[in-house]
Amino acid sequence: MSRFFKSPWPWVYIPTLYFAEGLPYVMVNDASVVAYKGMGVSNELIGLTSLLYLPWVIKPLWGPVVDLTGTKRSWILATQALMAIGFFLVALSFGTGFFFATSLAFLILIAFASATHDIAADGFYLLALDKQKQAFYVGIRSTFYRLAAITGAGLLVALAGYWMNQGISPAESWKYVFLLVCGLFLLLAFFHWIYLPKPAADSQREKSSLKEMGKGFLDAFACYFRQKDIGIIVAFILLFRLGEAMLVKMISPFLMDQSGAGGLGFDTEQVGIINGTYGTIGLLVGGILGGILIARFGLRKCLWPMVGAIHLPNLAYIYMATALPDIGIAGVFVVLEKFGYGFGFTAFLVILMRSVDERFKTSHFAISTGFMAMGMMLPGMVSGYLQASLGYAWFFTMVCLATIPGMLTIFFLPLRRFDEEQKEVV
């Protein structure tokens, strides 16, 4: 038994490492929305919490610092401990008269720590495993990242709702949830302190000056914008999820608002089960199926069916905002929307991966994901104000119309080149 726990084998630490990568992102960007709605925060302010995407937008800026100072292992341990402190402070802020401002500040702290943890964890993955093991464990890391999403947006939200249904106040219920996550991250930091290996490549790197690191980053950044068709690719990244960026922040408020406010009137536990658990499972299944089909038929043949899958289910929210269906029908529509999003997002992600220069693959992908996060952050920040001004039915109509600019950019993408690159890899 002791040999099992002391083993440096990746299946001992890869699942926990990527669970630790996924959970903070979901708690900061998804669970917090349900928490704030349950504690009476307005939709306008909830929309402004899209600012929490900012650390993931700008994380490429301090990536060289993570490379230059310390080891990836030490950054992982430090950021996990910092996130535990952040979750503890968020928990303490609930129930105070100024909980929104203080908890939001601590969530920003967690977001920066989580974005830094992403850089360190992904770098550690590349250093600790050879190329064969990297390929073998990619499915495991993805699975546990998704399990973290189910845990944060589903099980923990449902747990908060269960406590509320037992008579505990929303503030106290969410305090307990965030304290639970704090304890979990303390355990994860302790576990990784003991069981994360110390690969030679992580501790015996060639030292570079800050000036050299900065020059390398600027070279990669300049090369990114010198790529052929980069203008239309960036436009696609920013615009393709314009509608989804507004929708995602208002799904939980819509499900929780009472019928008099245009919502469906579900409680927190029901939202956790429908949107967080079943919805995330639909997202995972859609993503897996999308990856299989693109690998089999290529991007060009799959792209437009995937575009339809990611955008057409949004029409269901217009129907729900006018018909106000019961929880069974609403649950089916939410799961279908999540499945379609997972299925369609696969094509979006493949385009991001194909639009990088091989010389700067890691840096260019980080820049693209930064634009991706920006495309979610800016529309999300105004979503609450738009919903409050238009009402849910017209807001969801605007969401559907907002998908058009991104779809227009597809006609100008170099899809033939992307598919040719896939054939070369195969």
CB 51 within 8 A of CB 177: no
- Compute the distance between CA of residue 122 and CA of residue 56 in angstroms, rounded to an integer: 14
Q: What is the DSSP string of 243-295?
A: HHHHHHHHHHHHHHS-GGGTS----HHHHIIIIIIIHHHHHHHHHHHHHHHHH
Q: Of all residues in the chain, what percent carry a pLDDT higher than 90?
A: 57
- Compute the distance between CA of residue 420 and CA of residue 231 in angstroms, rounded to an integer: 20
Give the CA count within 13 Å in the CB-facing half-sphere of 265. Answer: 8
User: What token pair was written down for 299?
Assistant: 């991007």
User: What does the pLDDT profile of the chain (426 residues) look like in tens digits?
Assistant: 444 444 467 878 888 999 999 999 999 999 999 999 999 999 999 999 999 999 998 887 887 777 767 888 999 999 999 999 999 999 999 988 889 999 999 999 999 999 999 888 888 887 787 766 766 676 677 778 888 988 998 999 999 999 999 999 999 999 999 999 999 999 999 999 998 988 887 775 555 555 666 676 787 788 888 888 899 999 999 999 999 999 999 999 999 999 999 999 999 999 999 987 898 888 888 888 888 888 788 888 889 999 999 999 999 999 999 999 999 999 999 999 999 988 888 888 888 877 777 677 667 777 888 898 899 999 999 999 999 999 999 999 999 999 999 999 999 998 877 665 544 443
The pLDDT score that the predictor gives to residue 425 is: 40
In terms of Cα–Cα distance, which of 136, 159, 156 is closest to 147?
Answer: 156
In terms of Cα–Cα distance, which of 104, 35, 401 is closest to 246?
Answer: 401
- Compute the distance between CA of residue 149 and CA of residue 366 in angstroms, rounded to an integer: 21
Task: State the pTM of this model.
Answer: 0.83
83-134 per-position pLDDT tens digit: 999 999 999 999 888 899 999 999 999 999 999 998 888 888 877 877 667 6
The pLDDT score that the predictor gives to residue 61 is: 81
Q: What is the chain's mean pLDDT, rounded?
A: 87
What are the CA-CA distances from residue 198 to residues 72, 192, 195, 204 (Å)?
A: 9, 11, 9, 10
Domains in the chain (CATH in brackets) are 8-194 (1.20.1250.20), 220-426 (1.20.1250.20)
Backbone angles phi, psi at 9, to 5 degrees: -60, 140
CB 110 within 8 A of CB 90: yes
What are the CA-CA distances from residue 215 to residues 9, 64, 209, 222 (Å)?
A: 36, 10, 10, 10
- Compute the distance between CA of residue 126 and CA of residue 128 in angstroms, rounded to an integer: 6
> In residues, how long is the chain?
426
User: What token pair was written down for 291?
Assistant: 């990856």
